[in-house]
Amino acid sequence: MTPPAAALAATDLAVSRGGLPVLERLTFTLHPGRALILRGPNGSGKTTLLRTIAGLQPPLAGSITAPPETIAYASHADGLKATLTVAENLAFWAQIFGTGDIDAAVDGMNLRGLLDRQAQNLSAGQKRRLGLARLLVTGRPFWLLDEPTISLDVASVALFAQVVRGHLAAGGAALIATHIDLGLPEAEVLDLAPHRARAPADGGLMGAFDEAFL
């Protein structure tokens, strides 16, 4: 993987969900080789922030700068097809992202013994591992991870931390929304609580209420 020339940066970012502002005044920079952990209670806007950075929705205010085509997004859903095998699922995403090689991902997330199994016959934790292996086949430097450790056991969490560390060492970077301790002590933590959107009366941004009536 070629290390990205520039960092992923958010400047005075505000994001909204369903027309209501949830986060504002967010400024951070994610440099290659670093990990940033997003912390915040349920509903604090972690998923919305990640979807905005991934480009799935426009920001309410502020700007996001990142080199083009460098972001890989992993949502709650793994994007697996139940009737395809593990190998077919991975190979599909590898072809879509133009990398083609799934061996490193298979070994990285310990999926070697499951290659010919259909995704519908995997356990929840195995599906999650396959979903995370998808990140490895994208070959993209910036990983946006939304609760990546859901339904993983302790051994798999350690395996995942090792994969993330390998990714960072290779010049990648990761933005991780999580509630548990991933075993990545070197990662910085960004607490979202102080960035909660204020009411418009207190100087907060107006949401895009009119969007629903357009």
Partner 1 sequence: MIALFLRDLRLAIRAGGGFGLGLGFFLIVAVLVPLGVGPEGRTLSLIAPGILWVAALLACLLSLDRIFALDHEDGSLDLLATAPIPLEGVVTMKALAHWVTTGLPLTLASPVLALLLNLPGSGYPWLVLSLALGTPALSVIGTFGAALTVGLKRGGLLLSLLVLPLYVPTLIFGAELVKRGAAGQAVATPLLLLAGITAGAAALLPFASAAALRVNLR
Residues at the interface with partner 1 (CB under 8 A): 51, 54-58, 69, 71-73, 75-84, 88, 92-93, 95-98, 134
Comparing CB distances to partner 1, the nearer of 73 and 160 is 73
* Contact assessment for residue 174 and residue 143, using Cβ atoms and an 8 Å cutoff: yes
**Who contacts 53 (Cβ-Cβ below 8 Å, separation ≥6)?**
8, 10, 64, 66, 71, 144, 175
Comparing CB distances to partner 1, the nearer of 44 and 70 is 70
List the beta bridge partners of residue 28: 10
Quote the least distance from Cβ 56 to partner 1, whole Å: 5
Quote the least distance from Cβ 14 to partner 1, whole Å: 15
Quote the least distance from Cβ 81 to partner 1, whole Å: 6
* DSSP reduced 3-state for 170: coil
Distance CA 33, CA 142 (A): 10
β-strands 20-30, 35-39: how paired? unpaired
Comparing CB distances to partner 1, the nearer of 29 and 57 is 57
Give how far Cα 164 sits from Cα of 111, 113, 157, 158, Å: 16, 22, 10, 10
Can you read off the two tokens belonging to residue 128?
């999650």
Quote the least distance from Cβ 92 to partner 1, whole Å: 5
Comparing CB distances to partner 1, the nearer of 114 and 135 is 135
In this structure, the number of other CB atoms found within 10 A of the CB of residue 60 comes to 23
Comparing CB distances to partner 1, the nearer of 55 and 166 is 55
Comparing CB distances to partner 1, the nearer of 45 and 184 is 45
Quote the least distance from Cβ 66 to partner 1, whole Å: 12
- Gyration radius of the chain's alpha carbons: 18
Quote the least distance from Cβ 127 to partner 1, whole Å: 10
* Contact assessment for residue 186 and residue 167, using Cβ atoms and an 8 Å cutoff: no
